[in-house]
Chain A
């Protein structure tokens, strides 16, 4: 038993390096995708101090809008632009109808509002686009679909899907852009101010409405990118909404307020999950991928409740 836990997996890693590399790559890609979704949560959390329940459904909604428009004869790139527009309208609508009436309310009220928004988007999405899964328009968008095999050693083989590479590149670009936007502009400081104290932010002349609209739009763009990438790997369906909650352990690891944290947290969860499943999963009958992330996060919570990069929680008593 001890041999199976502590020695055998490492022997396997050593014996079959190509398989190990493949697992690492899978873990990396999964991590990037988790990071993307976590990024959306981080944006909203930074600006309003709430966990945005609706982020998962926004991913689905963005993906469905894109595919749905294309199905109705809109060329892929135009559909992409229109979808960005739709996410903008959604952001404005959320600010106007959901956030604005709730200024100065406790965080829990805002949290409930995002749950309400989730159900609205589920219903509205099904009403407009129907409930069945759709194929992502990967090729029409000019995203690569092939795969490249690398030979490792004498008979080893590692296969990289091009779409996964594209996902990684897009994720990195997105993170860089958001990082610069929030760290180098006055909007970044305003954002933290808004998250910290609504009244005080208003009193120094920060417009909550404007900041919220901007942040929800940014979260919408992240959701769209996530929807495209995830959709390309499986389907665009409402099931994605559930997967999106994998972002929760990622956020616990990385910290709810940190963009780099989302990335690092995503990667840790991605690697941990895949390696855990393939090398240790057999010991308990497999299928640990779906809950291992939460265990990792729980253990982490014991030591760093604010996450790896989160803002320190200060409470004076």
Chain B
């Protein structure tokens, strides 16, 4: 664990005093529809480097669609996405991945037949560069490279405290641990932006606390920018630096947690005031 910390010691300033930070990702006037159904309507917001950004909203508000737009699963019909200062063209998910965007899924998308170790190793696939002829020979630079990646993966396993299940096929693991492995796989990509889709769904209190701790640690120790969708308001308010609120595919609020919490539109949306 120490090694990762050292390597990634970008030392992000404490969240509170960051008035003006570099914008990592900017979403401008994005609209997305499936046939006649509008999933997202004219949404703009940004994600600043080093922050934890929460996206909240009632069910069906378009939160997951928004993540899918960011990581290239969906292509919005309108609007632009600016990634690290450059307007992004239509991008495939694996291109988004190689550009430093990693994610986890609402309903855990792991490689169920593989072990924890292999699952997390698969997060390194973009970082393996050696010609596969070398890999065929299993020798020389390729072997060294594999060892290096293994080291990195072991560090992540230590960090997430999942040493005990290294060799267990993930399909056998309880849900909470699967979520943790999925986080591990995303971390193995050493992403600039980490998208977490309901990282705490279906967890008990203790598991939620663990997961919150990991998220904060990832953010503070590695300096990874995080965008997360979460329903547990306590968690959202504790963790995030800024919150964007969606309802029926539209943005209804955006700002620091306290401000959003007090916003009348947000209260209405969550209490279900008729539209």
Contact = CB atoms under 8 A, between A and B. Distances in A.
Chains A and B are bound partners:
yes
Contact of A196 (B73, B97, B111, B123): B111
A203 B136 contact: no
A185 B135 contact: yes
Contacts, number: 92
Interface in A193-221: 193, 196-197, 199-208
Query: Among A185, A202, A203, A206, which residue has the most Cβ atoms of chain B within 10 A?
Result: A203
A288 B68 CA distance: 55
Contacts of B136: 180-181, 184-185
A181 B132 CA distance: 9
A190 B125 contact: yes
B45 interface: no
28 contacts: A184-B138, A185-B132, A185-B135, A186-B132, A187-B132, A189-B118, A189-B125, A192-B111, A196-B114, A197-B111, A199-B93, A200-B105, A200-B110, A200-B111, A201-B111, A201-B122, A202-B92, A202-B94, A203-B71, A204-B126, A205-B98, A207-B92, A207-B94, A311-B113, A312-B169, A314-B113, A314-B172, A315-B171
Contacts of B94: 202, 205-208
Contacts of B121: 189
A205 B124 CA distance: 9
Contact of B93 (A189, A190, A203, A315): A203
Which size class do B's interface residues fall under?
Answer: 20 to 34
Given A203-B93, A203-B97, A312-B169, 8 more contacts: A186-B135, A199-B93, A200-B109, A202-B97, A203-B109, A204-B123, A205-B125, A314-B172
A204 B122 contact: yes
Contacts of A203: 71, 93, 97, 102-103, 105, 109, 186
A173 B202 CA distance: 50
Contacts of A200: 105, 109-111, 185
Interface in B90-147: 92-94, 97-98, 102-103, 105, 109-114, 118, 121-123, 125-126, 128, 132, 135-136, 138
Contacts of B125: 186, 189-190, 193, 204-206
B71 A316 contact: no
Nearest to B135: A185
Nearest to B103: A203
Which size class do A's interface residues fall under?
Answer: 20 to 34
A201 B125 CA distance: 10
Given A192-B111, A193-B122, A314 B97 contact: no
A208 B92 CA distance: 11
B109 A197 contact: yes
B189 interface: yes
B214 to A, nearest CB: 19
Given A192-B111, A196-B112, A184 B135 contact: yes
A207 B112 CA distance: 19
A169 B103 CA distance: 46
A203 B46 CA distance: 21
A203 to B, nearest CB: 5
Contacts of B98: 205
Nearest to A310: B113
Contacts of B73: 199, 202
Contacts of A186: 125, 128, 132, 135
Contacts of A199: 73, 93, 105, 109
A291 B77 CA distance: 56
A235 B102 CA distance: 53
Contacts of A315: 171
Contacts of A205: 94, 97-98, 125-126, 189
Contacts of B118: 189, 192
A184 B92 CA distance: 27
Contact of B189 (A184, A204, A208, A311): A204
Contacts of B169: 312, 314
Contacts of B172: 314, 316
Give the top 6 A-B pairs by smallest Cβ distance, nearest first. Answer: A205-B97, A314-B171, A200-B109, A202-B93, A196-B111, A205-B126
Query: Among A192, A204, A207, A314, which residue has the most Cβ atoms of chain B within 10 A?
Result: A204
Contacts of A206: 94, 122, 125
A193 B111 contact: yes
Nearest to A315: B171
Contacts of B103: 203
B104 to A, nearest CB: 8
Contact of B114 (A185, A192, A207): A192
Interface in A227-265: none
A201 B123 CA distance: 9
A315 B125 CA distance: 26
Nearest to B100: A205
A298 to B, nearest CB: 25
Contacts of B92: 202, 207
